């Protein structure tokens, strides 16, 4: 089955700096890669996703890049703010649209943004 | 956006008892998913619930321990049976629509004493 590795496990940055979180996946059939943010005591919320037909996607301060050959994808957060502090999970799925297909999650990274 | 309601939000249960968690979606969805999130850990898929058929369980999870019902396209339940302290965890239901993100319920925090 799919295996998603996420690293590092913790990341601390100064407010205003950039943060990069990397994930690798094992199954070349995976074609949908979402990123979730989970604040303490709350449910995971999608922040950005990418499908295998594109190499990069950006939404304001957040961007995701995908390298299908190397089977890795990364989350980039620019101009970090204290409210970006949370646990971030990457995931992979074999469903193009993410529908009706299970997600395999990475272990998560705790991002701390120092004011 | 779709609304998914999960209850209870938390419970404290005695060893050997069972807890049933309910998940209600405000639109019809083909598949629903049940995840477990142990303290400080990632989300692990327990099973996929299809309406009208038996749930499909992931390796390490069995129907006797985690029976699932899916009586219609908007509702599902997960029961955690014969509880032990190792079952203390957060349980989340989830679904995704065609072309949309996966939505999660607010989670059920289970503590077994």
What pLDDT is attached to residue B51? 81
Per cent of chain B over pLDDT 70 is 95
Q: Are B83 and B65 in contact (CB under 8 A)?
A: no
pLDDT of residue B50: 84
Distance (Å) from the C-alpha of residue B71 to the closest C-alpha of chain A? 17
Residue A99 pLDDT exceeds 70? no
Flag the least confident range among A37-41, A87-91, B52-56, B65-69.
Answer: B52-56
The alpha carbon of residue B83 is apart from the nearest alpha carbon of chain A, in Å, by 22
Query: Which residues of chain B does A40 touch, with a Cβ-Cβ cutoff of 8 Å?
Result: none
Rounded to the nearest 5 percent, the helix, strand and coil shares of chain B are 5, 50, 45
Q: What is the mean pLDDT of residues B66-88?
A: 95
Q: Please, how many CA atoms are within 13 Å of residue A6, restricted to the half-sphere of its CB?
A: 27
Residue A54: the pLDDT is 84
Phi-psi region of B76 (alpha: psi -120 to 50; beta: other; left: phi over 0): beta
Higher pLDDT, A78 or B97: A78
Nearest CA in chain A to B93: A43
Please report the residues numbered 25 through 64 in chain A whose beta carbons come closer than 8 angstroms to any beta carbon of chain B.
34, 42-46, 49
Residue A96 has pLDDT above 60, yes or no: no
Distance CA B3, CA B72 (A): 16
Query: In what helix (H) or strand (E) does residue B22 lie, and over which residues does it extend?
Result: strand B19-25
pLDDT, position A95:
72
Q: Confidence class of residue B98 from pLDDT cuts 50, 70 and 90?
A: low
Q: What is the pLDDT of residue A33?
A: 93
For tokens 């094992």, what's the residue? Answer: A26
Band of the pLDDT at B1, cuts 50, 70, 90?
low
């Amino acid at each position: 089955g799919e295996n998603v590795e996420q690293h590092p496990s913790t990341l601390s940055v100064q407010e205003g700096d950039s943060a990069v979180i990397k994930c690798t996946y094992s199954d070349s059939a995976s074609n949908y890669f979402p990123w979730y943010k989970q604040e303490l005591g709350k449910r995971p919320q999608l922040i950005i996703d990418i499908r295998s037909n594109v190499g990069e996607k950006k939404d304001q301060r957040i961007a995701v890049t995908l390298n299908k050959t190397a089977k890795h994808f990364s989350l980039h957060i620019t101009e970090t703010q204290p409210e970006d502090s949370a646990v971030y999970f990457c995931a992979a799925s074999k469903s193009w649209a993410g529908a009706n297909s299970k997600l395999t999650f990475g272990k998560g990274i705790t991002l701390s943004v120092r004011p | 956006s779709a609304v998914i309601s999960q209850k209870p939000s938390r419970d404290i249960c005695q060893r050997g008892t069972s807890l049933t968690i309910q998940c209600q979606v405000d639109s019809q969805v083909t598949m629903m998913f049940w995840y477990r999130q142990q303290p400080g850990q990632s989300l692990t898929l327990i099973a996929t619930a299809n309406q009208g058929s038996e749930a499909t369980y992931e390796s390490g999870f069995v129907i006797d321990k985690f029976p699932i019902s899916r009586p219609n396209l908007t509702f599902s339940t997960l029961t955690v049976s014969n509880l032990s302290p190792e079952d203390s965890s957060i349980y989340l239901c989830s679904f995704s629509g065609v072309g949309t993100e996966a939505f999660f319920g607010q989670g059920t925090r289970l503590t077994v004493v």
